[in-house]
Amino acid sequence: MNTTDMKLTIGHLYPELLNLYGDRGNVVCMVKRCLWRGIRAKAVEYHIGDRIDFSKLDIVLLGGGSDREQRIVCRELKKVQKEFKRYVEDDGVVIAVCGGYQLLGKYYRTREGVIEGLGLLDIYTEQGDGRLIGNIVLDSGLSDVPVVGFENHGGRTYLCGHKPFGRVLYGSGNDGVSGYEGVIYRNVTGTYLHGPLLPKNAQVCDHLIERALERRYGPIELKELDDRMELAANEYICRRFAGKKIAAGC
């Protein structure tokens, strides 16, 4: 099948609440990288009170938010937890950042109380002492070049046997001590990387697009794009923060 006959719908959940550090840029990046290949991609925003029909979606994006906003979103998504779970188990693609990542799990315990999560994954999060803030570089199976980003979270996330998104080369990651960052389960990627993640890491973006198209249309190979600028930016960040480790092959 020709890619110009393919369509892809991205559900952007609660952009007015989960919108830290330009997470919206992830949506723009996915749409653009599809359009540049002739794939008809569109983004649909869902706001509090909207009905979400997961069968219409190919990619679900949850951005980052403060504890207060997470609580509101969790309460809302609980209403469609079963449909969301079915989507995940049916290999629906999800990209969830920071607060959005935390709420995929069983719970997020803060000093103000426990925010019950959606329980789509077995992970859980506990608020720690101080925040883990700064640039971060990862080695991830989803990209040939290191994944780069920025993290800012008070929560420490524990994977309970799930696979991480990457191994930390520089920065804190899930809990500041395990050396791992994010989670991967089926076609769900959860991560603390804001920044936004996808424009900085084009291969991760293409991975999500590819999985979503494969789910709907069967095996596909995406046309290469000219990523010289993205790769140069990535290389600069890698050299600046994790140069020695990468040179040593760690």
Is 12 part of the annotated catalytic residue set? Answer: no
Tell me the backbone φ, ψ of residue 98, rounded to 5 degrees. 50, -105
Would you say 8 or 62 has its CB closer to ligand GLN?
A: 62
Is 98 part of the annotated catalytic residue set? Answer: yes
Would you say 177 or 250 has its CB closer to ligand GLN?
A: 177
Tell me the backbone φ, ψ of residue 95, rounded to 5 degrees. -125, 120
Would you say 153 or 207 has its CB closer to ligand GLN?
A: 153
Applying CB under 6 A, the residues found at the interface with ligand GLN are 20, 64-67, 70, 98-99, 152-155
Instruction: Burial-class residue 244 by CB neighbours within 10 Å (0-12, 13-18, 19+).
Output: exposed
Q: How far is the CB of 193 from ligand GLN (least distance, A)?
A: 10
- Under 8 Å between Cβ of 13 and 101: no
Residue nearest ligand GLN (C-beta atom): 64
Tell me the backbone φ, ψ of residue 198, rounded to 5 degrees. -75, -40
Would you say 191 or 234 has its CB closer to ligand GLN?
A: 191
Q: How far is the CB of 49 from ligand GLN (least distance, A)?
A: 22
Q: How far is the CB of 208 from ligand GLN (least distance, A)?
A: 19
Question: Given 29, 74, 98, 205, which residue is catalytic?
Answer: 98
Question: Given 153, 162, 194, 207, which residue is catalytic?
Answer: 194
Sign of the Cα pseudo-torsion (80, 86, 90, 94, in order): positive
Q: How far is the CB of 142 from ligand GLN (least distance, A)?
A: 21
Instruction: Burial-class residue 66 by CB neighbours within 10 Å (0-12, 13-18, 19+).
Output: middle
Q: Are strands 147-158 and 124-139 parallel, antiparallel or unpaired?
A: antiparallel
Enumerate the active-site residues.
98, 194
